[in-house]
Each structure stands twice: as C-alpha cells, then as structure tokens.
Structure 1
Amino acid sequence: MRTIAALLMVLVAAGSASADTVLTRKAQSVRHVKIVEFDRARLTVMDSQSGQRSQIDFADVYLVRVDGRAELNEAEKLLSLKKYDEAVAAYREALGFAGGGWEGAWVRVRLVNLLARGGKLDEAAELIVRLAEDIPEWLIQVLPTRGEIPSDEKAMGAATATLVAARNKAGSAETRQALSRVLERLGINQPNLADRKKVVREVTESELLNFRRPGAWLDQWAAEQLEAGKADQLLATTETLFAAAVRADLPGILHWRGRGLSAAGRFDGAALELLRVAVEFPQSPYAAGSLFYAAEALDQGSRQVFAKAVREELVRRFGDSTEAAVAEMVDGARRTSGNNEK
C-alpha cells in the first residue's frame, strides 16, 4: 500500500505547480513546500504560500520529490518501488547533478544506506568519509546500525581499511570523532562477530537472538544487575546488544550502558553515553531519564557546573516529568545549602 501511495504521489505531483513534495512513512503528503535544508538529521521545508518553516526527521521521510531535479526524483521513485540496484545507479547519477546546499548530503546519505543495507559497505565507505567531513556532528544519526548491515567479512574488511585510514589522516577533530563513532557503531573496534554473539550467563543466546525491542525486558534485567552490583555484567551485555542492534533499540541500550559505566565509576564515559540518548533520540522515552542520570554522573565526576546545566536542560525540556521534579529539588537544596553556608 505504501509503495502504491508513493508512486501515485510521484505521478500526481509531476503535473502539479512548481513545488517540492515530501511523503512521510505514515503516508502523509507534505506538498506545496520548498525543501531548504537538511541538517541535524532533519529536512526543513518552507510552505510556498505562508513562508512558514517546519522540520521532518530523516527517519520519518519515505520519499521526496524536488522540482526541477529529474535525476533525484527518479532515484527516489525507484527506492519507493524497492528496486534497490536501479536506485543505487540512479542516486549515483543524481549525485552528479546535485546542487549546493542540502541536496548533495541527502543523496550521499541515501546511497550509503542503500549500499550498506545491501551488503556493500565497502562501496559505501568513501561516501561515509565524505559525509564525516560535511556533516560530522550528526552523521551517526542517519547511518544504518550494525544489525541492519548484512555480514560480509570481505566488505567489512575493505570498509574498515578505508574508514581507519581516513580517520587517521583527517584534517579536523570533528571528522576524526565522527569516523570513530562510525567504527564503534559498526563494531569494528570490538571482537569479531562470532565472539560478539556470545552472551553472559544471565542472558541465553536464544533470548538475545530474538531480541528486537529492549523495553520492559531490558529495563527489569538491567535494574537487577545494578542492584546486585554487577555493573561489569551489565556492560558486557549492553555491548553485545549494541553491536547487533537496529536503530530503534539504541536509546534503551545506550541508557543502560551509561548507567553501567556510572556504576563502574567511569563517570565521564557514562555522561557521554547518556547524553547521546538525549541528543540523538530526543523523542525517546529514555531521554528524560538519561538527562537525569547524566547529571548525576557529572556530579559524581566532580563536574558540578556541567551537571547543573544538564539539570536545567532536563527541566526545560521535560518539566512535567518526575526526573525534572527531582532535579529541581536537588538544585533547590544546593542553593539553600549554599545560602546557609554564607
């Protein structure tokens, strides 16, 4: 049904007035707009009549049609029809016609996802390097996860060589960091795939292989590990889950990995993992809790100024949450204590 809707949208839009169109994965059509930006993993569109701007998450975009861009429109159509090999060829052609601004990054991101999910990570590697230079801050948000990439030792080996070499000679710290995060996401700096499939005693292999959405199962199990003082066990399991996860799994896994690091006394690392949840997955149910525990980790790591800033962000974004209420109490108590000491 979605493919038919996408095709109809393309055919109808082809005869419409000069404007861009975005079809979301909920089959909602955003029409009579101009795509003006692709940044922070979001498309920004401007209404052709009112001039009002709105944003659409990359993960929610199913198809775009851009006025005057026949090559890109053909590639998007082929992608919607699941003609992946033809879509790859079409996106490569579209890349040669991509104008300035958002279009080049969009086409490269589409290509990387198609190639990587098609088991051609080696062909995607050079594109990833270019994206690490162009969009280092949010590249990781638009890449497939390790679990979404078919296992191919030859392709992985070639991609590894390309990505590591590029990271080592990168001209900026931002690009190096982006490529390091890509390598981490792919599990390249971890043991080989066979070793990563081994699980700790508390989680049987069958449970892990059938694991799709952490949810209540991970929450309950991870809380039990922390209560029992088994931070190392929690870290081992979340590391295994991370290597095989699809994107929808990541907020919970990163949240509990951060809390495991905090319990192990690795406070800076804990804060980094927890803040990743809030930054990369701001709509996740784990976002508020991750900000709360990130502030706690920063406090324990003697970074009180940063901890206070994170608590303020928690209250600003999630003012109605229990975590925000507790954060306000903590800051209030500290202000009172400071006044009493004076």
Structure 2
Amino acid sequence: MAVLVFAESLTGSIKKAALEAVTYGNLAAQALGTECIALTIGTAEGADKLGQYGASKVYNVAASDDFDSQVYAAIISKAAEQLGADCVVFAHSSSGKSLAGRVAVRMEAGMASAVISVPTAGNFSVQKGVFSGKGFATYEIKSTNKVLTIAPNTFRPEASGSDVAVETLAIDAPAARVKVKEQSTVEGIVPLPEAELVVSAGRGMKGPENWGMIEEMADILGATTACSRPVADVHWRPHHEHVGQTGVAIRPTLYIAVGISGAIQHLAGVNQSKVIVVINKDPEAPFFKAADYGVVGDLFEVVPRLNEALKKFKSQN
C-alpha cells in the first residue's frame, strides 16, 4: 500500500501548499512503513521537484486545468485504486477541502481534516485542533482507506531528496457537469493560508484612505495583508483579506494586528499564529491577552515609526 498526495497546481505550477502536503506525505509514509506517491492533474510545472520533498514517484493525469471537484475527485480515487494507495493526503485549502470529502465517499474511507500530526502505525491515529484551537483531539481511523487534509503552515516544506521524473497515468476522466466561463484570481501575493508573515488591521484605521501605512509595512516585511470582518463588511478592504472564525483561518509565523480589538470571533481564526504582535491604543483591548508582544499607543504614531525602524534595519542587514 502507499500514501498518495494530491499536489495542487491549480495555477499551472506547484505551490507551497503542495510542497507541504508532500512533505507530510513522506513523513506519514515513513511512519507507516510505505512509500509516498505524488499526483498532479493537468498542467503542473515543476512537478519533478516533488521528489525533493519526499515523493518516490510523481504521476500526472492529463485533464482540463479548469478545476471541477467532481471530476478531480473521480480521477484521484481512481488513481488511488490503480496505484494501490490506502491513504490520500490533501492540503487543507479551498480545493483540498472540496475534494477530500468526495474522495472519502468514493473510497469508503474514514477522514480527518486539518490534522497537525503524523499518523501512528498500528491504530492510525492523528491529532487536530478543536474549539478554535484551544484544545486538541486525537482521531483514530479504523477504515481500510483513509483521507487526510493537513493544516497549513504546520509541516514546513523540507527538501532533502532529488528530482523525480514525472510519469503519465492513464485515467479516463468523467465529463464535467460544470462549465467554467471565467476565472478571477488574486495574483502577485502569497495567499493568506500559506503566508508566513501577515499584517492585519481593523476599524482603528478609521478609513480605507489610511491603509497605505499597513501596505508599506507588509511590503517592507514581505508579508500578506489581512483585515478584520467589520473592515471587509464596510468594503474598506476586499473580502478575501478577512481573517477570523467566519473568514480565513491562518497559522503564520508572525501575525501583526493593528487597530483590532480582538473579539473572540477574530481570535478563533488567528490564535494558531506562532507569534502575535498587537498595536492598540486601548490597554484593555482583549487582543493583548492573546499577544506575545503588545504596543499600547496611537497606531497613527506607532506604525509610521515602526516602518521607519524596519526600513533602517533592512538597509543595515
């Protein structure tokens, strides 16, 4: 048997989420005493690099680059059967989440989502965060086949092997029921679920015209920008930047929150960040209880000075 990893290439090339999934798949395969196989669908530039992250074999199925979860799920489940894989791994991305359940049904597999641990041999148990990250639960999957999605920014991509030649896997894809007429994607930035550094701001900014200092900080740090829900709701910022319980859940290495009070709904989506820095003029803001570092002060004074200090530091290092 084997661990099969779906390596996303929805924009035509292999992204960080795919490298994380293959890194995890390799660790899982080692724990289970088997091999890690990577699967790509459609155009997948750089698929041979997946061998560096632990894939012993890399396969590609020729199919439309227009993502259709029903079509892709059929391909992946057929590939798992053809390759003798009893464990299928996905990134916990929007596409991974839409595929995992469908594949689990097709394979009659038990499933665990957003896992944060490598499965144990024998009883096949994995851990995941529960209660908005305030606790952990251990799930034991007893079915013959298993499907997992891995929490983003949990298993860092580790290149330790070498490139692997990509082989073609012949699978007849079913006809798509949905026709994609137009696709609009955000280009040029690291998606929030994959971002290592995030600079976020809230209603304390007082208006969209003041967002320049936040974008400047993000540019200096090489970070992705985010916002609280009220900011997105009043259209100060686009909705894809909304982080929190009802928005995007993130796990960056560094999360800087500017002018955000820290309501429980917001914290639920960001409290898995490794380091949280809060800038707020209200010393009683709830966010300070979750912060690793806090600055009590007027953001319109603190942020420009911080940006100047960051630029000076970068120029000297």
Fold conserved between structures, TM > 0.5:
no
- Which of 1 and 2 has greater Rg? 1
TM-score w.r.t. the length of structure 1 is 0.29
TM-score w.r.t. the length of structure 2 is 0.30
Q: Which has the higher contact order (CA 8 A, sep 6+)?
A: 2
User: Of Structure 1 and Structure 2, which has the larger fraction of its residues in strand?
Assistant: 2
